[in-house]
Amino acid sequence: MRVRSSVFASFCLILEVLGIALFLRGFFPVPIKSSFSSKNKLSDLPPEPFTGRSPNSSKVPDPLFKRVVIVLIDALREDFVFGPNGRKYMPYIRHLVERGSTHSFVAKARPPTVTMPRIKALTTGSIPGFIDVVMNLNSQALLEDNLIWQAKTAGKRIVFYGDDTWVKLFPKHFMEYDGTTSFFVSDYTEVDNNVTRHLDSTMKRDDWDILILHYLGLDHIGHISGPHSSLIQPKLMEMDDILKKIHGSLKLKEAEGALPYLLVLCGDHGMSETGSHGGSSEHEVNTPLVLISPAFKKKVGMEKQSTVEQVDLTPTLALGLGLPISQNSVGRLIQPVVEEASLRDQLRFLHLNGHQLSYLLKDSIPAYEKEEGYEQFRVAEKSHGNWVKLVVEGNTSEVLTNMGKKVLKQYLEALRAMSAALSKQLGKYDMYSMVVGMVLVFQLLLLLLLAMPEALSSASEVDLPVSSALLSLPFYLLCLLLSSVHVLVCTSAESSCYFCSLSWGLVFGAVALSSALLCILISMAARRGAKPPGKSPSHGGVRGWWSLSELDVLLLAGTAGHTLSLSASSFVEEEHQVWYFLLNTLCLVVFQDVCRKYFREHRANIGSLEGEDYLLPSNEGDAVASPLADLGVTDAGSERWLALATPPLTLACCRLLRSLNQTGVQWAHLPDLGHWLNSLEHKIVLSLLAALSLALIYFLVQRRCSWVSKIALALGLLGVYSYRAAVGNVVFPWQHGGGNMSKGIVEARFVYVFVLGILFTGSKDLLRSQVITADARLKSRGLWEIYSGVVLLVALLFRAHNLPVLCCCLLVQTLMAQFIWKKLHYDAAQTTIMHYWFGQAFFYFQGNSNSIATVDISVGFVGLESYVEAPAVFLTVLSTYAGPLLWAAHLVCYLSSENRSSVAVGHGCYCLALLRSVPAVAYVVLVTALRYHLFIWSVFSPKLLYESMHTLLTAAICLFFTTMEQSRSFSRT
* Residue spans of beta strands (DSSP E) within 896-951: none
The whole-number average pLDDT for the span 78-103 is: 91
Q: What was the pLDDT predicted at 426?
A: 57
Per-residue pLDDT band at 617 (split at 50, 70, 90): very low
What is the spatial distance between Cα 574 and Cα 568, in angstroms, rounded to a whole number? 10
pTM confidence score: 0.78
What is the spatial distance between Cα 462 and Cα 481, in angstroms, rounded to a whole number? 29
The whole-number average pLDDT for the span 399-412 is: 90
The whole-number average pLDDT for the span 760-777 is: 80
CB atoms under 10 Å from CB of 482, counted, come to 20
What single DSSP character describes residue 196?
Answer: H
- Higher pLDDT: 173 or 543? It is 173
Question: Smallest Cα–Cα separation from 107: which of 271, 288, 332, 272?
Answer: 288
Contact 10, 962 (CB under 8 A): yes
Q: What was the pLDDT predicted at 534?
A: 46
Burial 633-657 (b: 16+ CB within 10 A, else e): beeeeebbebbbebbebbbebbeeb
In the chain, what percentage of residues exceed pLDDT 70?
85
Contact 315, 333 (CB under 8 A): yes
The yes-or-no verdict on residue 663 having pLDDT over 50 is yes
Q: Say which residues have a Cβ less than 8 Å from residue 712's Cβ, sequence separation at least 6.
A: 754, 757, 758, 761
Question: Smallest Cα–Cα separation from 50: which of 63, 59, 37?
Answer: 59
The whole-number average pLDDT for the span 559-584 is: 89
In the chain, what percentage of residues exceed pLDDT 90?
36
Q: What was the pLDDT predicted at 94?
A: 92
Per-residue pLDDT band at 834 (split at 50, 70, 90): very high
Per-residue pLDDT band at 103 (split at 50, 70, 90): very high
The yes-or-no verdict on residue 533 having pLDDT over 90 is no
Q: What was the pLDDT predicted at 751?
A: 95
Per-residue pLDDT band at 401 (split at 50, 70, 90): confident
The yes-or-no verdict on residue 138 having pLDDT over 60 is no
What is the spatial distance between Cα 726 and Cα 190, in angstroms, rounded to a whole number? 19
Q: Say which residues have a Cβ less than 8 Å from residue 600's Cβ, sequence separation at least 6.
A: none
Question: Smallest Cα–Cα separation from 58: which of 335, 379, 355, 328?
Answer: 355
The whole-number average pLDDT for the span 472-479 is: 90
Q: What is the mean pLDDT of the chain?
A: 83
What is the spatial distance between Cα 667 and Cα 103, in angstroms, rounded to a whole number? 33
Burial 39-72 (b: 16+ CB within 10 A, else e): ebeeeebeebbbeeeeeeeeebbeebbebbbbbb
pLDDT tens figures, 510-523: 999 999 999 999 98
What is the spatial distance between Cα 260 and Cα 250, in angstroms, rounded to a whole number? 9
pLDDT tens figures, 703-759: 888 899 999 999 999 999 999 998 888 888 877 654 555 678 899 999 999 999 999
> 50-64, 281-295, 619-633, 830-844: lowest mean pLDDT where?
619-633
> 351-365, 392-406, 627-641: lowest mean pLDDT where?
627-641
Q: What was the pLDDT predicted at 864?
A: 83
User: 108 has which bridge partners?
Assistant: 286, 309
The whole-number average pLDDT for the span 145-155 is: 91
Q: What was the pLDDT predicted at 183?
A: 58
- Alpha helices per DSSP H over 425-456: 431-450, 452-455
The sign of the CA dihedral 68, 73, 78, 82 is negative
Q: What was the pLDDT predicted at 854?
A: 82
Per-residue pLDDT band at 470 (split at 50, 70, 90): confident
What is the spatial distance between Cα 377 and Cα 418, in angstroms, rounded to a whole number? 9
> 184-193, 322-331, 483-492, 619-628: lowest mean pLDDT where?
619-628
Q: What are phi and psi of 41, to 5 degrees?
A: -130, 160
CB atoms under 10 Å from CB of 767, counted, come to 14
CB atoms under 10 Å from CB of 579, counted, come to 21
What is the spatial distance between Cα 82 and Cα 290, in angstroms, rounded to a whole number? 10
Report the phi/psi class of residue 157: left, alpha or beta, with left for phi > 0 and alpha for psi in -120 to 50.
beta
Q: What was the pLDDT predicted at 616?
A: 35
The yes-or-no verdict on residue 36 having pLDDT over 70 is no
Alpha-carbon dihedral angle through residues 14, 496, 429, 28, given to the nearest 10 degrees? 50
What single DSSP character describes residue 213?
Answer: E
Burial 728-745 (b: 16+ CB within 10 A, else e): bbbbeeeeeeeeeeebbb
> 438-442, 491-495, 496-500, 692-696: lowest mean pLDDT where?
491-495
Per-residue pLDDT band at 114 (split at 50, 70, 90): confident
Q: Which stretch of DSSP H or E encloses residue 648? A: helix 636-660
Q: What was the pLDDT predicted at 423?
A: 79
pLDDT tens figures, 271-330: 887 777 877 778 888 999 999 999 898 877 777 889 999 999 999 999 999 999 988 889
Q: What was the pLDDT predicted at 697?
A: 95
pLDDT tens figures, 208-249: 999 999 999 998 888 877 788 888 999 999 999 999 999 999
Q: What was the pLDDT predicted at 967?
A: 58
Contact 92, 281 (CB under 8 A): no
The whole-number average pLDDT for the span 930-954 is: 70
